[in-house]
Amino acid sequence: MNTPELQQELFKLIKKNIPDNLSATEEIAKVLDVSVDSVYRRMRGEKTISLDELHALCSFYKISLDQLMNLQTGAFLFSGKIINSNSFRFDEYVINTIRDMTYVNSFKQKEFYTLCKDIHVFHHYHFKEIAAFKYYFWMKTLLHFPDFKSKKFSFSEYSDNLFELGRKTSDLYNQTDSVEIWNVETINSTIRQIEFYHDGKMFKSDEDVLIIYQSLEKLISHLEEQAALGYKFNYDDPSKTPKGSFQMYFNEVLLGDNTTLAILDGVKMAYVVHTVINYMITRDMRYCENLHEHVQNLMRRSTRISSVSEKERGRFFKMLHDKIDRRKSNLHV
């Protein structure tokens, strides 16, 4: 492939990453800080892009040169940021998530496929009590914030402002068509986190632990109702106005790893979670196609429990509720 052909292929890849409601030439012009006419000349191959421009475009649109030039290096290009507890602010983290989900929702077709090792983070933000506990866990155990070193759990530490920001991420997630593949182990990490702090006497009373478990029960019941209806809706919406479609699968053997495959107007993009709260993104075609095939195979080997299979759905959610009930029965309240 010669230089003009590579340049045209580059712009084809870039266009796939720009929502249809935006002008591709105008968006590229902003990245390169040139006129729209200059972008057109580069797209037509009349002007060769410089190495600096190539770097700017590939960095901004997360495009692998290996993929562009069809180099079989075996490497995959991922992008992402690693949280630094010295400069981390939780509200900024959630605001960035809002920005990412707003981008996702700017596409006409938007699908999420998630392999749920844990409960998807967006579900927590429907319920303030469980969201408050997750906030405490992240700040104390994952990020080791000094202020949380010896601090006991308190619902008041999780502000209304943080909760409302979280609610916005859930609202945006609800607008996407989603497939989630669950296992009965999916809620175990949350239960273990609660029990770890309970055993470590980090709760002021068993009543606080009970409130968190009751909040977790509400979350599971809300998921069950969404699965029965086959679509997502806001928990506090009495009319249950349909949002994005919701398909839920139960896999009895394999446990997921929290990886999410997004398909945006036909373009595949993978979100790979690492160290619990960090994540990386790739649009690498080989990686995403392989992940897509893996997800499809998992779905074929799982039981769909949304919209259909009422008996299996009831059995699955009963197992989840039983896990919570057993923990509640050990509390002294």
Question: Is pLDDT above 60 for 270?
Answer: yes
Enter the tokens of residue 70. Answer: 């069809």
Output the pLDDT for position 73: 56
pLDDT in tens, 205-218: 999 999 999 999 99
Name which residue leads in pLDDT, 137 or 83.
137
Q: Which fold would CATH assign to domain 3-68?
A: 434 Repressor (Amino-terminal Domain) (1.10.260)
Percentage helix, strand, coil for the chain under 3-state DSSP, each rounded to 5: 55, 10, 35
Give percent above pLDDT 90 in the chain.
62
Candidate from 64-78, 225-239, 295-309 with smallest mean pLDDT: 64-78
Which tokens in the block code for residue 58?
């590939």
Label residue 197 by pLDDT band (50, 70, 90).
Answer: very high
- ∠ at Cα 146 (143, 151), nearest 5°? 100
pLDDT-derived band at 150, boundaries 50, 70, 90: confident
Q: Report domain extents, the chain.
A: 3-68, 90-328
* Burial bucket for residue 92 (CB in 10 Å: 0-12, 13-18, 19+): exposed
Burial of 70 (0-12, 13-18, 19+ CB in 10 A): exposed
Q: Which amino acid is at 127?
A: F
> pLDDT averaged over the chain?
90
Q: What is the DSSP letter of 329?
A: T
Q: What is the pLDDT of residues 58-96, one digit of tens each?
A: 888 877 766 666 555 566 777 777 877 777 889 999 999
Name the residue among 274, 111, 271, 118 with its Cα closest to residue 183.
118
pLDDT tens track for 3-29: 777 788 888 888 888 887 888 888 888
**Strands annotated E in 54-132:** 110-115
Q: Do 7 and 47 contact (CB within 8 A), yes or no?
A: no
* pLDDT value of residue 250: 96
Contact yes or no for 304/249 (Cβ under 8 A): yes
Q: Confidence band (pLDDT; 50, 70, 90) for 274?
A: confident
DSSP helix/strand/coil, 116: coil
pTM of the shown model: 0.80
